[in-house]
Structure 1
Amino acid sequence: MTGCTAMCDAAGDLEEGLCAGAGCFQAAIPGGVWAAEIELGSFLNYTFVSDFDRCGYAFLVEESGFNFLERNLVDLEGVDKVPVVVDWVARNGSCEATRGGGGYACLSGNSRCVSIGNNGDGYRCVCEEGYEGNAYLVDGCQGMEMIGF
């Protein structure tokens, strides 16, 4: 479990581009984490807030995908979306152990299973060569088969 607090007594404490505790804080999610929860709270129900910082935001973003600016304390105008990288696997066994049974995640007929790790601790589904889309959905991998001439 990781926790963080962003505090700022004066606008002069802020440093544009730096998200290290003065008005903004970031925390890395370490590898191997199976679940993450973001919870946003306040001290004493926002009774001690600065005039320049009345808002609270929390979001998941790729490390280099957000550049903190002082105006972000008031609003996130112009920040419509941010990049997120999620590296995940199906954790209900290996390809061999789950294929053909209930719970097998590779549902597209044009997909294949790729085992992750050495001890059967998970797998990913990918579209076959020549197909693209979502291998976890029925008919999720679509495209043209490779035709040799």
Structure 2
Amino acid sequence: MRPLGAAPYLLLVLLVVGLLHESSCGDNPRYEKFLSQHRDEPRSRFRGRYCNTMMGSRDLTRPECKEVNTFIHGSKRQIRAVCTTTGGVPYGALRRSRQHFRVTTCTLRGSSTRPPCEYRENTTPRYIVIGCENDWPVHYDESQIVITA
């Protein structure tokens, strides 16, 4: 039996490093914060209390109630693709998704930003507009409702 040599092992190491880099973002805390504030995949189920529960669990109600926040129901890969030519297009200094996403936008009810916070939700499909830093999403700017004919 002939020894395989180092080539297969080197290939395996490169593959593992590539996969770790794709799934990891430890060198970009802004991306981690973006995911924490804006990604929920699959969409959590809270029986009519989605926004109130999610906003509280993501610490978006302290010390004051955040007025508006959008949760994107897409994979990390789909969201990150918006920062590339494959998944997004320039939108001023930002990027707009080429395809629409399922999202939930939570909007504060009433004018007081003091807890307890009560939110209403909108689940209309949208194109997302995000800010990117070195091809990593770091800022959710807005979304555009998909108009169907």
The alignment's TM-score, normalised by the length of structure 1, stands at 0.25
Determine which structure has greater relative contact order: mean sequence separation of CA pairs < 8 Å that are 6+ residues apart, divided by chain length. 2
1 or 2, which has the higher helix percentage? 2
* Structure with bigger gyration radius: 1
